[in-house]
Amino acid sequence: MRKSFDGLSGLIQGELLRSPTSGEVFIFINRRRNKVKLLRWEQGGFILYYKRLETGTFELPVFQEGALSCQMSWTTLMLMIEGISIEKYKKKKRYFINNSTVYS
């Protein structure tokens, strides 16, 4: 968790083969799962969000076998950050226009 804007951008390009300036949110969680960094490009520069838990751990998202990244909705990301179990919540059906954003 020592990397900042440039180091995380390098990981995104080198390991995930993605563009860090795509507008996606890239999530980095440490091994102990008590720290998380979110990196996102907005007009003019990067935004880095960093949270460290004093107690407890972050719940990891579900990955396909062998995958380096996964897609999740903004709602699921916020539940994960707030410590609400993703596994047990049930999303009710809503009408929406399909303009979904991909988060990695």
Evaluate whether residue 99 is within a structural domain. Answer: no
Give the model's pLDDT for residue 80.
86
Residue 20's domain spans which residues?
A: 5-82
Structurally, how many domains does the chain consist of? 1
Evaluate whether residue 66 is within a structural domain. Answer: yes
CA distances from 32 to 18, 45, 76 (A): 26, 29, 21
Evaluate whether residue 97 is within a structural domain. Answer: no
Evaluate whether residue 29 is within a structural domain. Answer: yes
Evaluate whether residue 87 is within a structural domain. Answer: no
Whether this prediction's pTM lies above 0.85 is answered by: no
Give the model's pLDDT for residue 36.
93
| Cβ contacts of 97 within 8 Å, gap of 6 or more | none
Evaluate whether residue 41 is within a structural domain. Answer: yes
Evaluate whether residue 90 is within a structural domain. Answer: no
Amino acid identity at 16: L
Evaluate whether residue 22 is within a structural domain. Answer: yes
Q: What is the pLDDT of residues 15-64, one digit of tens each?
A: 989 999 999 999 999 999 999 999 999 999 999 999 999 998 988 887 78
- For residue 89, pLDDT over 80 is answered with no
